[in-house]
Structure 1
């Protein structure tokens, strides 16, 4: 007869049998993290909004939908809003050329980007952003690519304005969103839906109706200048130079489109690994160096200020350009390129509106039709965004963001593992007793 083995009886210390006592005791002693869990900026903004917002009960569902719409389309809205500042910059350039002798293109690029570079470095030094001069080590090559590509994108547009009309240059420039979306789908493997392609094509049609290029509509319509700079500042650029010069301008304009595509892909590839101002610093630094070398080579006639309004307008151009470029960079970081680039088409709408406000130019019916097409396409893309995140089941109230959800899931898995460890020992001992 075998001897009965000694065993310990495990009884709960609390009448709550749903949670084992050992696990229940440990729940109260989970150590507080040394630093608060990282929360997304959108969640922080949304919580702050909920605490401060005071609106009637009837309007709360509408306000809630609006807040969710802004969160889901933050990148697209940032890029579209940046076009307002780009249009203001173009108006300032036109006013600047009316104050004194028109500023040469390279001089304008040099001064504008130098102001942008100073703003970027000052911001990072004041805010304590790490690696303000060269950027984080893991993305420095991408930052170089962003600056190099961005300069060619800017130079291609400005050079083409010397020998092409503004309408022709505008249409060539707005090929950028389509080429960028296609390149992102091929290189970065981003999703490019049919609806985004159709909306982009319709937006390009709207741009053509507003710009009315000569090769489609002839030379009869006089297209207003939306504030872009033309070397020399006088005359129709399409009447300057030889056919070979205009062909070169078309080629460099397309090179500018490719440069803008490379810059957007670089920003998207960098993502959140670098601050948005890092990208803008690289872009402005390369533009300053390249335009400075080009001025030393070409030796253009430099224009110096003679009136205080000239200096103020030039500073305004630099600051507004800095804000616009920063918003574009933030938008590309938060949105797929195929959707984000749709916001670029809004610029020509702002340009047409500012022409009416500041220069009293009446838009034609075709311009109004093109504006409606662009706005409709942008709204369509914004409202048909697919939700890539799996949402909660009906009836569930989720208040945790991704970081907190991950933390809680980890704690629950640890708790379940501890429960299994606690229950496995007595069960094993009972099994051994039966065998004995």
Structure 2
């Protein structure tokens, strides 16, 4: 019975018409042949590649400029300072040189007038006194700025031009330290190293007599060397050793004055217009230079030729532009990093002296120029972004009731109505009830 009801087994074998691929082989379906590119398509492809690379390059260049706007403004100010020095040198090469205090008076008078006119034309508020919140800082900028100017001019009366220049360029290093101490700004180790390297480059260019001998610019006669002086004094040292020691001390006082001026500018930031700073600085310089000429009974040299008047106007105009760019640059940059660009003035001075006074730089000057440029470029390209784009981090940790309450108070929108106390109480009761239910359920499972 069991055998009769059992169904017979029939083996299923493939028909001969059924084909299988050989074992261990893969079949490929041929892809369609690509369409032939026309010359027009090839040109479009090259054009798109070029545009892509161009946009990428311009984007990187734009980011570099925006990231170093303050540094570039300070560097541009040094170019106009160098142009101003060319006019000063030309005036001092005249038969009747213009005294230093008179040059300061003319330059700062033009700066003061231009600053006031600009603020009245553009309706800048508080043109004479500045904004109420930064008037003390503006006064300190003018006060320290005067001592910076006074220190360098007094030291040039007894020190050589190269020695005074080296002392002046201590200001950027001191400014970086002052910004880190008083303004809590970042002054990294790489900025310190770059500043020291730039200072070494300045030493190679200026070649102070104490390090390189009595003739700091080989290849020039004494008359030619005296002709390139930019402030109306003989560059060789004079006076007694005690007087030169006092001159060094006052030069260091001038360095501290410049440090205070730069730090004050950075502390002011963008709370005041750049012209407010120029007005305060020029006011102090005009007043003090006037008092100095009266006390010294210094005769005023009146220009008698058109080129005199032109150069005096150039001194005032270039000085005004340079001070404006310097102020705007230091408002946008940290004190230590922004003043690093001050070293670039040496490079502009070498180039302009070659053009106008036919002075060929020596090998040491070229070496110092390369060091300064390399340090400035290193500082520019290695700057970290102020607000780098970072991925948003999500925390799942319970912050606690106090932190939650602080966050709600901080981000509360005043436009939304507050919940009624009754609704808050009901919400708390529902929350407590839910916690109680969960606790009972956990106990029942155990």
* TM-score w.r.t. length of structure 1: 0.77
- Residues 299, 414 of structure 1: CA spacing in aligned structure 2 closer, same or farther, 3 A cutoff? same
Alpha-carbon separation, structure 2, partners of 1:161 and 1:98: 17
After TM superposition, the structure 1 = structure 2 runs for residues 83-232 of structure 1, keeping only pairs within 5 Å, are 83-222=78-217, 224=225, 228-231=230-233
Counterpart in 1 of 2:290?
292
**Cα deviation, residue 160, structure 1:** 1.4
Question: 1:370, 1:92 → 2: CA distance?
Answer: 25
Deviation string, structure 1 residues 66-117 (Cα, Å, up to 9, x no partner)? 1111111111111011100000000111112234511111111111101100
Once residues 101 and 159 of structure 2 are traced to their aligned partners in structure 1, the CA distance between those partners, rounded to angstroms, is: 17
Relative to structure 1, the CA distance from residue 303 to residue 384 in structure 2 (aligned partners, 3 Å threshold; closer, same or farther) is same
Structure 2 distance, partners of 1:239, 1:268, is 35
Task: Confirm or deny: 8 A CA contact 1:90 1:226 kept in the other structure.
Answer: no
Residue aligning to 1:376: 374
Please state how far the C-alpha of 1:418 moved relative to its aligned partner. Answer: 8.4
Using the alignment, how far apart are the partners of 1:201 and 1:346 within structure 2?
14
Does residue 320 in structure 1 map to residue 323 in structure 2? no
Alpha-carbon contact 2:152-2:251 (below 8 Å) kept: yes
Deviation at 1:58, TM superposition (A): 2.5
Paired residue total: 360
Counterpart contact for 2:154–2:251, Cα < 8 Å: yes
Deviation at 1:297, TM superposition (A): 0.5
Q: Distance in 2 between matches of 1:149 and 1:350?
A: 26
- Aligned counterparts, 1:278-289, within 5 A: 278-289=276-287
- Contact 1:92 1:227 (C-alpha < 8 Å) held by counterparts: no
1:41-84 per-residue CA deviation (whole Å, 9 max, x = no partner) reads xxxxxxxxxxxxxx943311111011111111111111011100
CA–CA separation in structure 2 for the residues paired with 1:239 and 1:149 = 26
The answer to whether the 8 Å contact 1:90/1:227 transfers is no
Could you tell me which residue of structure 1 aligns to residue 275 of structure 2? 277
CA 1:417 to 1:355, structure 2 compared with 1: closer, same or farther past 3 Å?
A: same
Q: Gaps (5+ residues) in structure 1? A: 1-54, 395-411
Q: After alignment, is 379-388 or 281-290 more displaced?
A: 379-388
- The answer (yes or no) to whether the contact 1:226–1:351 under 8 Å persists in 2 is no
Asked whether the equivalents of residues 145 and 266 of structure 1 are also in contact (C-alpha less than 8 Å), the reply is yes
Q: Does 1:349 align with 2:351?
A: no
Kindly state the Cα deviation for residue 417 of structure 1 after the two structures are TM-superposed. 7.0
Structure 2: runs of 5 or more not aligned: 1-49, 219-224, 393-410, 435-446
Contact 1:162 1:230 (C-alpha < 8 Å) held by counterparts: no
SS of the aligned residue for 1:238 comes to: coil
Match of 1:72 in 2: 67
Structure 2: distance between partners of 1:378 and 1:226: 26
Partners of 1:138 and 1:299 lie apart in 2 by 39
Contact 1:121–1:133 (8 Å) recurs in 2:
yes
Q: In the alignment, is the contact (CA less than 8 A) between 2:92 and 2:230 conserved in 1?
A: no
How far apart, in 1, do the equivalents of 2:374 and 2:228 lie? 22
Distance between the aligned counterparts of 2:414 and 2:284, measured in 1? 54
SS of 1:304 mapped into structure 2:
coil
Find the residue that maps to 2:269 and give its secondary structure. Answer: helix
Tell me the distance in 2 between the aligned counterparts of 1:159 and 1:248.
10
Which consecutive aligned stretches of 4+ in structure 1 deviate over 4 angstroms post-superposition? 223-227, 412-421
Partner of 2:402: none
What is the CA deviation profile of residues 6-41 of structure 1, one whole-angstrom value per residue up to 9, with x for unaligned ones? Answer: xxxxxxxxxxxxxxxxxxxxxxxxxxxxxxxxxxxx
Residues in 1 aligned to 2:174 and 2:192: alpha-carbon distance in whole angstroms: 11
Following superposition, the deviation at residue 230 of structure 1 comes to 2.3
TM-aligned CA deviation for residue 237 of structure 1: 3.5
Name the residue aligned to 2:259: 261
* Deviation (angstroms), 1:416: 12
Conserved in 2, the CA contact under 8 Å of 1:89 and 1:317? Answer: yes
- Aligned pairs for 1:243-258 within 5 A: 243-258=241-256
Give, in whole Å, the separation in 1 of the partners of 2:113 and 2:298.
Answer: 24
**TM-align CA RMSD:** 2.9
Aligned match of 2:47: none
Equivalents in 1 of 2:60, 2:419: separation in Å?
A: 44
**Contact 1:230 / 1:237 at 8 angstroms: preserved in 2?**
no
Which residue in the other structure is 2:40 paired with?
A: none
Deviation at 1:322, TM superposition (A): 0.4
- Greater alpha carbon shift after TM alignment, 178-187 vs 383-392: 383-392
User: Given the two structures, how large is their TM-score scaled by the length of structure 2?
Assistant: 0.75
CA deviation after TM superposition for structure 1 residue 392, in Å: 4.7
